[in-house]
Structure 1
Amino acid sequence: MDEQRVRRGGPPWWRQGPPWWNGRDGGPADVTHRWPWRSTLLITVFVLVGSAFASRGQPGRVPLDPYARALLLAGGAMLLWRHRYPVAVAFGTALAAVVYLGAGYPYGPVFVTVAFGCFSAVVAGRRWAAWTALGVLWAAHLLVGHWLYRWLPPAHDNAAPWGGEVAVTTGFVAIAAISELARTRREQWARERAERAQAVRRRADEERLRMARELHDVLAHSISVINVQAGVGLALLDSDPEQARTALTTIKAASKEALGEVRQVLDTLRTPGDAPRAPAPGLDRLPELAQQAASAGLTVALDGTPPRLPPGTDLAAFRIVQEALTNVVRHSGSRHARVHVDHDPRELRLRIDDDGPATGADAGGSGNGLAGMRERAAALGGTIEAGPRPDGGFRVLAVLPLKVTPKEDDR
């Protein structure tokens, strides 16, 4: 589900940010392909129409003329570049507003273009440009309203009321606060998207590792049996054809089973989420595993009754025993092995012993058997101890945590 969400663009926008912040509507992530012309056109029309209505209630100001409309149009048109050149747009819209106010034109939504320009600069990480542009505009507004008004149009103008300055200052502070909030939220969304993508990649890596470990265990055991039986068949091909035929029959059965398990793993890889066609092996198949080992010349004595286990723990336990017996076939001169299963409500203990000695022979193994067993045990919070016994044999001891209720244990 998470991988499908990533392929479709992630979770809903209220968890990852509006589309226009993620580059799907001209936002910063896609500025090289799209222009925010719709929002720019809407803002420009709003400023032009709003200024026209505002001028009707300010008869003392200079009426709107083509120069005033050109300034308003220029300030709005600059917003078309706000994602590509946020610094230039922040200063450009502020300069257009300063010239507009200095020319004595009516107050109105002229600050809207400055707000969007500075907002885009802050969101793009150019905070210094946004604060400087707002500071320049605020200082120019104070100078024009309380000092330069004597020499600037309209004629016979009075100083601006200080109450209006408080409102303008509050508006500038609100622009700054909203811009900072948007920047912080955008960075948070970006981190969340990166964390989700990393989590999906990590799960994919873990799944690939799990399947690689599964394939290794399946192939290592089956190929070891095939290797031993192939050697027997070659040795007896001339002197005992019937025994050679038995070895070939064992090779055929082992290869068929290996192909079936490999196909099951690959089917899971091709169709993730689908239920497997065959149940995963567990400790209930230990007698079958002992028969396979017997076909390779290894007699396995089973001791203990396996408890009812969760599928993941059951599979890991089976693979650990399988790999341990495979290592006996490969690397031990002993033709006898013992598998002891013990458990209590808290943990499952598996002990695999052989009498040795080590032969140093290698049936084509990769050397990853013990590492794979430890990884399986560690994934469940368990441990693996493997090493020579004092009497010269070799022992593998696996301890896997589990939660088995008495009722489950009695079944």
Structure 2
Amino acid sequence: MAKQRGPGAGPPPWWRHGPPWPDRRGEGERADRWPWRSTLLLTAFVLVGSAYAARQQPERAPLDVFARVLLLAGSGLLLWRRRHPVAVVFGTAGAAVLYLGAGYPYGPVFLTVVVACFGAVVSGHRRAAWTAVGMLWAGHVLVAHLLYRWLPPAGDAPASWGQEAVIAAWVAAIVAVAELARTRHEQWARQQAERAQAARRRADEERLRIARELHDVLAHSISVIHVQAGVGLALLDTDPEQARTALTTIKTASKEALGEVRQVLDTLRTPGDAPRAPAPGLARLPELVRQAASAGLTVTVEGEPPRLAPGTDLAAFRIVQEALTNVVRHSGSREARVRVQRDGRALRLRVDDDGPATGADAGGSGNGLAGMRERAAALGGTIEAGPRPDGGFRVLAVLPLRGKAEEDDR
């Protein structure tokens, strides 16, 4: 195998121009395999075709042992065209020049150069291919117009320049076809890379979505469980009935959290399946209010939520849920206000509490606020969160009534 060039290996050789040919074969079918079949078929075609051409061109030198050696050498070199494309393209061109210089008949000897040139171009050695083909044409011009007097066959006349123009056109066509094939394969490789990148991007977005879902579900439920566990422990001896209520709330919250986590994980096990339960939305605001009340937080809701697209509805619910969870965890206030308002083609969600803050991360620097911003940004909306001038904390979300994903689907 060819050694890979390290960072300090310097520029590539002068004869290499362009990236290598994108290989569609698997790892076990790359350049390590020898192209036996195609080489044998091509060799047989060249030998048979040259024998036929010799019968059609009696004025040229007859095929002898040296001619057949040159034909076999030019065709046999193609066996190395994947491993050593530069050496093969120059070798086939040199064999063809010697064949023509010896006065042997024109025929499929040029086919070996065509295949070698094609292989060199598509493997990235474009300048080598151009140079070898140019050398072949220059050698033919030299033989056909200057050296023909001293080379066989005897009495040969110079070739016409019209014939040289035809040969030059064929040379240009060979290079053009090889370059066209290379361009098509580069486009294919670029499309494959773009598709792979898009798939990785979708996978990353899906991981982020699942991480946000799990964070929002677990953070809210565990906050409720934490508060109720503290209440239950504090009242276990003095007020068993209230402790029982706290334990019931813990059981209910943990059951709901397990159900939502299972639903999220089910989407990983069976992608594409419809969820077993509908995604939460602002219609579940009363449930959030009850859960917050069980954690000792009184929530007042103002306004009626409009009809929303599923993605916007879920994002709005999670934003309110996370904002109330932050109030429970990081605010000394036991009251919060949620305002839902339609403003033109946007939905405005505002969650206020009167503070004071009770934690080092009360300013909203954790994953919860980052998740809210990601949800809003995914829909083309915005999130503003920070302390209010008159004290307390405010989360303000502005979401388009139809998110970017829904607009794209239309």
Question: What is the TM-score normalised by the length of structure 1?
Answer: 0.89
| Equivalent in the alignment of 1:104 | 103
- Aligned length, in residue pairs: 382
Report the Cα distance in structure 2 between the residues aligned to 1:151 and 1:54, rounded to whole angstroms. 23
Structural mapping, 1:110-129, within 5 Å:
110-129=109-128
Paired residues of 2:23 and 2:30 also in contact (CA < 8 A)? no
Deviations 1:119-144 (A, max 9, x none): 11111121221111112111111111
SS at match of 2:397: strand
Structure 2 equivalent of residue 328 of structure 1? 327
1:253/1:362 CA distance change after superposition, 3 Å: farther
Deviations 1:70-111 (A, max 9, x none): 211221121121121110011010011011111111101111
Deviation at 1:358, TM superposition (A): 1.4
The gaps in structure 1 that reach 5 residues or longer are: 1-19, 405-411
Partner secondary structure for residue 385 of structure 2? strand
Superposed counterparts of 1:1-400, under 5 Å? 22-24=23-25, 30-360=29-359, 367-400=366-399
CA distance 1:23–1:385, shift in 2 (3 Å) = closer
Letter in 2 for 1:48: L
Q: Which residue of 2 aligns with 1:17?
A: none
CA contact (8 A) 1:221 1:322 kept: yes
Equivalent-residue separation in structure 2 for 1:174 and 1:389 (angstroms): 74
Deviates more, 1:53-62 or 1:42-51: 42-51
Check conservation: 1:25, 1:34, Cα contact below 8 A: no
CA distance in 1, matches of 2:55, 2:343: 89
Deviates more, 1:187-196 or 1:167-176: 187-196
Give the gaps of 5 or more residues in structure 2: 1-20, 404-410
Q: 1:324 and 1:23 mapped to 2: Cα distance? A: 51
**Contact 1:218-1:262 within 8 A present in 2 as well:** yes
Distance 1:235 1:241 in 2: 10
- How far apart in 2 are the matches of 1:243 and 1:255? 18
| TM-aligned CA deviation for residue 161 of structure 1 | 2.3
Partner letter of residue 79 of structure 1? Answer: L
Q: Quick one: distance in 2 between partners of 1:228 and 1:21?
A: 60
State whether residues 121 and 182 of structure 2, in contact with CA within 8 Å, keep that contact through their aligned partners in structure 1: yes
The C-alpha deviation readout for 1:324-346, integer Å capped at 9, x for no partner, is 00001001111111111111441
Letter in 2 for 1:31: R
Q: Secondary structure at the match of 1:128?
A: helix
> Do the aligned partners of 1:342 and 1:350 also contact (CA within 8 Å) in 2?
yes
Amino acid at match of 2:355: G
- Residues 207 and 402 of structure 1: is their aligned pair in 2 closer, same or farther, counting only changes over 3 Å? same
How far is 1:188 from its partner? 2.0
* Sequence identity (%): 78
CA distance, structure 2, for counterparts of residue 316 and residue 106 of structure 1: 79
Please give the root-mean-square deviation of Cα atoms over the aligned residues, in Å.
2.0
Report how far residue 183 of structure 1 moved.
2.2
Name the SS for the 1:343 alignment partner.
Answer: strand
Q: What residue number does 1:408 align with?
A: none
SS at match of 1:62: coil
CA contact (8 A) 1:23 1:30 kept: no
The DSSP-based 3-state class of the residue aligned with 1:22 is: coil
CA distance in 1, matches of 2:74, 2:344: 75
TM-score between both structures, scaled by the size of structure 2: 0.89
Aligned counterparts of 1:75 and 1:400: Cα–Cα separation in 2: 70
- Distance in 2 between the 1:361 and 1:59 partners? 99
Distance in 2 of aligned mates of 1:296 and 1:361: 21
Deviation of 1:403 after TM superposition, in Å, equals 4.2
Distance in 2, Cα, partners of 1:172 & 1:179: 11
Query: Can you list the C-alpha shifts for 1:136-188, whole angstroms capped at 9, x where unaligned?
Result: 11111111111211111112222122222111111111112112222222222
For the Cα contact (< 8 Å) 1:330–1:362, is it kept in 2? no
C-alpha distance in 2 between matches for 1:139 and 1:312? 69
Secondary structure at 1:175's aligned position in 2? helix
Is this contact kept in 2: 1:232–1:247, CA < 8 A? yes
CA contact (8 A) 2:229 2:246 kept: yes
Q: Tell me, what secondary structure is at the counterpart of 1:385?
A: strand
Q: What secondary structure is seen at the aligned counterpart in 2 of 1:339?
A: strand
Q: Give the 3-state SS of the residue equivalent to 1:338 in structure 2.
A: strand
What is the one-letter code of the residue matched to 2:136?
L
